[in-house]
Structure 1
Amino acid sequence: MPGAYATVRFHITQPVSSLTVPSGSVLYQASGPQVATVTSQNTILLKKVTVGRDFGDSVEVTSGISANDAVVSSPPDYLIDGMRADIQNAAAGQN
């Protein structure tokens, strides 16, 4: 009807906590989106994630990783769980 309107209210029971990671860090594979993380033993651990909003150069991850996880920023497609990771300190190359 012309001139009609409605009032809508959304009741959200709990806030959605999310993290933002670089777009290139998400691996889209047959088993679903995954993020490669580095364990304390410097090995790769692939974690299945739920992707939220896409911001272009970064994406929102709503579940699957925590703020304490060390995420691989640009992983190759051939990574598998348990592969050895060589950690490079980004600050070491800066003067």
Structure 2
Amino acid sequence: MQTSLLQWLTNIGWAAFTWSLAGLVLLNAGAAAFMLTRGTRDVVQRFTGGWLAANLLLLVVGVGVPAITAIARLTLLAVRTVVPEVAIGD
């Protein structure tokens, strides 16, 4: 049980990182193409706030979720070594 939970946490962390990285690449490539084709100052000023917010959201998800899952995995491993009875199913 605990081994599958540790594997699941690892998979969730890597999936969040991978999808966020892909989202960052697609978002910024699309924004660059959009700005190059319609590069007026008005368009740049109008969409910079939303673009920055989307980048920050993807960055927080891509770094935060793997960090939280890593902390959860380390906590489970620490509890398993301190209290062996917790290792149900191993």
Which is higher, the Rg of structure 1 or of structure 2? 2
- TM-score under structure 1 normalisation? 0.21
- TM-score under structure 2 normalisation? 0.22
Greater strand content: 1
| Higher RCO structure, 1 or 2 (CA under 8 Å, sep 6+) | 2
